[in-house]
Amino acid sequence: MSPGSDLLTVDDFDAISLQVIWQQLIAAADEMGFTLVRTSFSTIVKDNNDFATCVLDGDGNLIAQSTESVPSYIGMLPSAVRHLMTAYPCASLRPGDVLTTNDPWLAAGHLHDLMTAAPVFHRGKVVAWVVAISHMPDIGGALSPFATEVYAEGLCLPPLKLVDGGREVQPIFEMIAANVRYPAEVLGDVRAQLSALTVGGRKVAEVLESHSLSDFDSFGSALFTRSERFMRAQITRLIRPGVYSSELKTDGFDRPLKIQVALTVKTGSIEIDFAGTVLQIDRPVNSVFNYTYAMSIYPFKCLLDPQTPINEGSFRPFTVTAPEGTLVNARRPAAVWSRHLVGHYLPFLIFDAVASHIDGTVMAESSSPSWAGYFRGTSGGHTFSHTFFANGGAGARSDSDGVSTMAFPSNTSNVPVEILENTVPMRGLRRALISDSGGVGRYRGGLGQEIALQMLAGVEGRLTIRNEHVRFPSRGLLGGGPGRRGRNLINGNEVAPKGEYSLAAGDIVSFELPGGGGIGDTNQRARAAVALDRKAGYVGAVPDSSGAAS
């Protein structure tokens, strides 16, 4: 099943039973995900894939997650469930209860990610948790890239009981409805999560019954121990001990923002320290620690053990520290709506630090953080709103070109223009790969894309954007060149990548998404690959040192 399968052998839990149960629990998490997607109201879940579903043991340790889950959630949901358990001890719960929160410092880092969690009872006690989380289509607030505090960003729900013994707690639903712009869509997504939890709870109970288990304690102990052991072995085998560091600058607002990391690699463990990173700012790009933690351990999972399904044991060899009050460990009430504009850089910072010290594949910087546009306004007396996500090019890998228009480290999908046209009064004019946007190298970075949209007649609206890699391109690695920088245009005029703009009928909005960085010396690129690139129109002009084609 994975490179570490030979380690999944223990005296008290045989390897075959362990893998059978584990696969059944992963299937349960997958079915939860399918249910959430099928029953959700918003395109964010159905088309963007911005959600996660998972199964945890009775203590809140991650056992299984759905294969479609957004990676950043994996490192945050166990901690979030433990916060819920502190507020509502298991002894106070009963079958049919569902807890919720979207507090950024307890859950997923910003208010739009609302999570729900249900205890799974077996033989009279809580033996597991099923969890669903998704990006809500709205959570109130200003939707402003200039918010200075979290209070301006929307409704914050502390740990609450959302469903009590199978009955919805109506005041909470009414409070949510009264604070969001599109209550039917938001509450539809909340209830889609509840449907997923119902399915997940039933499936987990079936696993317990079919294997005559009273709980997951022994199973979890065996699973976590073997996964931890394998991850520690991979660290020892693939990364030479030492202290490795890197820093980068994000576009920021009026000035760039520096993030710095130092990795202390020991035999079987890694310490990740963000000392030296700039202080938090009064703009909504701050990352809370739980988000920073998740985005710091995920790249090591990709580097060291990409095949084994992730679980709590995979996290244990890693320690993450960040000074409180910095951009990557922001204190309340920092504005955090766009925390991915910092968090998505962290895997590439880590890849850069270890690139010359690892016996394995690394990845050049991608165009992520993912680009987003928020369209809202009126048409024919009706209001409309849509969150539009799109991806530029992924960075090149050590052994292959980067993938064009693919997100990383998130796995959110590109929304088809047809979905947008059916949701808001806009017409798609153009969607095409941008030639010469991938960084040069032995392996080329993935290409960015151009998306052009036009407001229809009789429409007035506003556009909010919050994009990166406009000032600084995606960096190349190990001698590779940078990707092309991105641009945002309205009627052909470039506008700032973080701003709010009025739109009138006939206005054309164009997004030119950045390309990924390249890897290695371009003189070592295979001639056949160059010929194929030219034939396909992927390259043509010679990129200058800034990453822009000339």
Given pLDDT bands bounded at 50, 70 and 90, which one contains residue 510?
Answer: very high
Q: Across residues 172-188, what is the average pLDDT? A: 96
Least confident residue range of 281-290, 359-368, 427-436: 359-368
pLDDT of residue 360: 77
- Cis amide prior to 333 (ω within 30 degrees): yes
Q: What ranges in 391-526 are assigned the alpha helix state H?
A: 417-423
Q: Nearest-CA neighbor of 257 among 319, 356, 142, 338? A: 338
Pair 498, 342: CB distance under 8 Å? no
Res. 547: pLDDT tops 70:
no
Given pLDDT bands bounded at 50, 70 and 90, which one contains residue 544?
Answer: very low
pLDDT of residue 72: 83
Q: Round to whole Å and give the CA distance between 395 and 484.
A: 12
SS3 of 198-259: the string is HHHHHHHHHHHHHCCCCCCHHHHHHHHHHHHHHHHHHHHHHECCEEEEEEEEECCCCCCEEE
Whether the model clears a pTM of 0.75, i.e. scores above it, the answer is yes
Question: What residue has token string 């953080």?
Answer: 369
Q: Across residues 469-485, what is the average pLDDT? A: 97
Given pLDDT bands bounded at 50, 70 and 90, which one contains residue 112?
Answer: very high
Q: How far is CA 428 from CA 332, 371, 421, 422, 451, in A?
A: 40, 17, 7, 11, 8
Q: Round to whole Å and give the CA distance between 172 and 262.
A: 44
End-to-end CA distance of the chain: 48
Q: At what angle do helices 217-238 and 289-304 cross, to 10 degrees?
A: 70
Nearest-5° angle of CA 112, CA 389, CA 328? Answer: 55
Q: Nearest-CA neighbor of 259 among 326, 333, 325? A: 326
pLDDT of residue 12: 59
Q: Across residues 26-55, what is the average pLDDT? A: 95
Q: How far is CA 168 from CA 165, 178, 187, 194, 439, in A?
A: 8, 16, 12, 10, 52
Q: What does the pLDDT look like over 200-254, one tens digit per residue?
A: 999 999 999 999 999 999 999 999 999 999 999 999 999 999 999 999 999 999 9
| Spatial CB neighbours of 11, under 8 Å, sequence gap ≥ 6 | none
Q: Across residues 257-275, what is the average pLDDT? A: 98
pLDDT of residue 548: 46
pLDDT of residue 15: 84
Res. 4: pLDDT tops 70:
no
Q: Across residues 289-305, what is the average pLDDT? A: 96
- Cα-flanking dihedrals φ and ψ of residue 394, to 5°? -80, 155
Given pLDDT bands bounded at 50, 70 and 90, which one contains residue 5?
Answer: very low
Query: What is the pLDDT of the chain when averaged over all its residues?
Result: 93
Q: Nearest-CA neighbor of 277 among 345, 358, 362? A: 345
β-pair partners for 121 = 126
Res. 542: pLDDT tops 60:
no
Q: Parallel, antiparallel, or unpaired for β 51-57 and 62-65?
A: antiparallel
Q: Round to whole Å and give the CA distance between 509 and 498.
A: 14
Q: Is the dihedral of CA 315, 31, 420, 418 positive or negative?
A: positive
Pair 120, 195: CB distance under 8 Å? no
| Longest CA pairwise span in the chain (Å) | 72
DSSP state letter for 26: H
Q: Round to whole Å and give the CA distance between 354 and 246.
A: 9
Which residue has better confidence, 415 or 273? 273
| Spatial CB neighbours of 114, under 8 Å, sequence gap ≥ 6 | 100, 101, 102, 107, 133, 134, 136, 139, 157, 190, 193
pLDDT of residue 541: 54
Q: Round to whole Å and give the CA distance between 436 and 35.
A: 41
| Spatial CB neighbours of 410, under 8 Å, sequence gap ≥ 6 | 70, 71, 72, 340, 344, 368, 370
Q: Nearest-CA neighbor of 348 among 415, 397, 413? A: 397
Pair 522, 481: CB distance under 8 Å? yes
Q: How far is CA 171 from CA 137, 159, 177, in A?
A: 21, 15, 10
Q: What does the pLDDT look like over 449-458, one tens digit per residue?
A: 999 999 999 8
- Cα-flanking dihedrals φ and ψ of residue 135, to 5°? -80, 115
